Amino acid sequence: MAPTLLGIRGMTFAPLFAAPIAVILHALAAMAAFGLGLVQFAAPKGTLAAFRTFCTFRL
């Protein structure tokens, strides 16, 4: 094992991709929702783009 910063091992996606497909899809959907949430939080409010982002969340 290669040494790392402060002796802490790095995180990998290997356990996620070794999981069943339902777990993988759920994790990817959660990451996408988190990203959309960041975009919606940072975007100007009251614009058409903000409304479209909200409509995406409603689905």
pLDDT tens for residues 1-43? 555 666 667 778 888 889 999 999 999 999 998 987 887 788 7
pLDDT of residue 11: 78
pLDDT of residue 2: 55
What is the model's pTM?
0.59
Do the Cβ atoms of 20 and 27 come closer than 8 Å? Answer: no
Look up residue 39 and give its amino acid. Answer: V
pLDDT of residue 5: 62
pLDDT of residue 10: 75
- The residue with tokens 């990817």 is 28
Instruction: Transcribe 16-36 into DSSP letters.
Output: HHTS-HHHHHHHHHHHHHHHH
Return the percent helix, strand and coil in the chain, to nearest 5.
70, 0, 30
